[in-house]
Structure formats: structure tokens, C-alpha cells
Amino acid sequence: MGTLNVGTVNATNANVTSTGTIEIANLTNGRLDLPVWTTGTRPASPVVGSQGYNSSEDMKKIEYWTGAEWLGVGETSYLDGVTNGLVLWLDPNRQSGYNGNVVTDHSNTMGDVNIRNRSNDWSITTESSTSLVCIYNGSNRTGSSSGINVPVNNGFNKQTGTIDMWIRPTGSHTGGHGWFNNSDGTSYTNNSNWFWWGSWSNSNYHYARWGNSSTCCNDLSFSGFQSMYPLNTWFHFCLAWNTTQGRATLYKNGVQQAQRTNLPTNITSSHPTNTGQLFNGHSRGDNMQFKGWCSQYRIYNRELSAGEILTNYDTYKAAHNL
């Protein structure tokens, strides 16, 4: 006989003939009552098909175990996209994607990230237009407490790599804002170890900057940036580079937006410190941390091809209503 995993049965006409165990649900006078749990108290070893109501504030849905992840009724599996070369993979929507304020690094390389390791501005919050669980900031903060710390000595490669993120910015700032910096927030000087990616000068100028053996600031930069950076709109944003070939390319929604093919080929692999930052400003007091929503943030230790970047966009565009 098979195992019937249904729970305590109290219905008048219920008749259980299986010799297996009975668990999980309650059937009372013809009504099926599912178990109630939170994300933290889900069954530790569920069987395929196990169902329950997740009462966590950011969930509140009936969900079931597929054998690989918990899905809400009517939801489709959250796919992986391109995973080869990942060294940081933050996605709170994935199975065990976060615990409190700590977002899981699904690459198991750079390490899990406490989004409040610099300030309490950041939270894990559901974005209403997509129902995606996101890293969110609504604060205009400048200075040494801005951004989120990450270890850059555990896999980030300044010479070749890709930063891939889904964002919905809600504000632009007088001095611009950043998406990544390989400095700890105190060693901001434009030195030969530096890498910084962000916007500047009324948020209308794009910068990606690499230091080489002698100077800082070999740039992929251009003006008129605000036209491709809409507020309150979801989009996929990606920077891919291989400085050994002198190349850096910016993509939005899988389409190339800008490229430089004559970067110096002697970009160093060193960093100002062992700690970098996500979503921080530049060094100046008028540069603020990113303000808005991020549903996914990935860093690779290699330059993704245009086809791979399009694959990542295509994989997640429906989840972002695109």
C-alpha cells in the first residue's frame, strides 16, 4: 500500500484504508484545512506535493513542494538563467533566498549578504506590481553608511566579469548613484586599484571605471544617460567586460546600449580593500546610494556573451511584466 499524506481525518464519512502515515491536512466535516506555516517553519523534509498556507507577511499564499522548490498555486518555476561563472547570486525569490535581512548567495562564492551591514535603510520587501520579493531602499543617504558591503576578495574579477541586475529605480540624485564599487566606502580615491560603476552629474552621465597599473579612470562613459534609465520601471541592466581584450559593453533588456573596445589591456586585478559595496554612491558627499527595488543581482567572473545576456533577460522578463 502507498503512503497517504493528508493529516488528521475527522469527516463523518472519511475512510482511510492505507497502512501508511496520515499527516499534513485536516478534513473536518467535508472541509479541507491546510496546515499553516511561515517561510521559516515549513516542513524540513517535505514530500513532493506537500501543501500548506504560508502566512509570512511577504507571502500569504497556498504553496506546494515540487521536489526542488516551494511554488504558489498557479506560479511557474523560477528558472536559473546562465549560471556558469557566477560568484555572487542574490535572488530572494529563490528557494531559501533569504533569512531575515541576510540574502543567500546561491553561487556559494562571495558569500551571503546582510543588507543592513552598513545601515538600516535596506529591507526585504515585496514589490506590488510584480509580487517579487526584492532588496529595497527608499532613503536618500550619502556618506560612509551608504550601500551594502560585500567581500570582493572572494571571486570578483576586475579584469573580466559581468554584473547583471534587475532594478526598478524610484529616484535619481543630484550627484548620481552607484551600483557597484570595489572599495569599502572609506578608500574612495581614484587610484589604480579602483573599479566603480554608476551614474554621476545629475544622474545623466554613465560611468564604468577601471584602474590600471599607473592611473585610475579608464572609462566606458557617455552622457544623456537618463533617457535609458527610466524611474518606476522594471528593466534588466548589465555591464560585461574583458579588459585583456580592451572591451566593455553595457546592455539594457538584452540589447547593447554602449561599448568601448580600446580600454587599456593592463588593468590590474587588485582592489583598494577586501570589501566592496553594492548600490553605493561615489566618493563625493552629493552622491547617494541607489534608491529603488532590486529583484536579482548577479556577478560573474567572466564576460558573458551578448547571447547569454539575452538569455538572462528572456528568462526573467515575464516575472517583471515585460
Residue 283 has pLDDT above 70, yes or no: no
**Cell numbers at 276, concatenated:** 566592496
- How confident is residue 12, by pLDDT bands cut at 50, 70 and 90? very low
> Kind of pairing, strands 102-103 and 218-223?
unpaired
Query: Which tens digits make up the pLDDT trace of 300-320?
Result: 999 999 999 999 999 999 999
pLDDT score at 203 = 66
Residue 9 has pLDDT above 50, yes or no: no
pLDDT score at 307 = 96
The mean per-residue pLDDT over the stretch 20-40 comes to: 67
Backbone angles phi, psi at 310, to 5 degrees: -65, -35
Q: Which candidate, 257, 251, 321, 256, places its Cα nearest to that of 293? A: 321
- Is pLDDT larger for residue 207 or for residue 173? 207
- Is pLDDT larger for residue 252 or for residue 95? 252
Q: Which amino acid is at 135?
A: I
Q: Look at the alpha carbons of 81, 86, 90, 96 in this order and tell me if their dihedral is positive or negative.
A: positive
User: What percent of the chain lies above the pLDDT cut of 70?
Assistant: 82
User: Which residues neighbour 231 within 8 Å (Cβ) at sequence distance 6 or greater?
Assistant: 169, 170, 171, 172, 292
Q: Which residues pair with 134 in a beta bridge?
A: 125
Residue 72 has pLDDT above 90, yes or no: no
* Average pLDDT over all residues of the chain: 84
For each of the domains in the chain, give its residue range(s) and CATH number, in order of start. 34-72 (no CATH), 86-320 (2.60.120.200)
- Do the Cβ atoms of 209 and 219 come closer than 8 Å? yes
pLDDT score at 6 = 47
Number of H helices and number of E strands within the chain? 1, 24
Query: Which tens digits make up the pLDDT trace of 249-271?
Result: 999 999 999 999 999 888 888 88
Within 187-305, residue ranges assigned H as helices are: none
User: Which residues neighbour 320 within 8 Å (Cβ) at sequence distance 6 or greater?
Assistant: 130, 132, 166, 234, 235, 236, 295
> Kind of pairing, strands 51-54 and 36-37?
parallel
pLDDT score at 288 = 77
pLDDT score at 63 = 86
Query: Which tens digits make up the pLDDT trace of 133-145?
Result: 999 999 888 777 8
Query: Which tens digits make up the pLDDT trace of 288-304?
Result: 789 999 999 999 999 99
CA 233 to chain centre: 16
Q: Look at 149-163, 200-214, 264-278 and tell me which has the smallest mean pLDDT.
A: 200-214
Q: Which residues pair with 317 in a beta bridge?
A: none
- Do the Cβ atoms of 158 and 182 come closer than 8 Å? yes
Strands (E), 270-320: 275-278, 288-289, 292-300
User: What percent of the chain lies above the pLDDT cut of 90?
Assistant: 46
Cell 526584492 belongs to 134
Strands (E), 35-120: 36-37, 51-54, 61-65, 70-72, 86-90, 98-99, 102-103, 113-114
Phi-psi region of 3 (alpha: psi -120 to 50; beta: other; left: phi over 0): beta
The mean per-residue pLDDT over the stretch 190-202 comes to: 80
Distance between CA atoms of residues 278 and 299, nearest Å? 11
Residue 3 has pLDDT above 50, yes or no: no
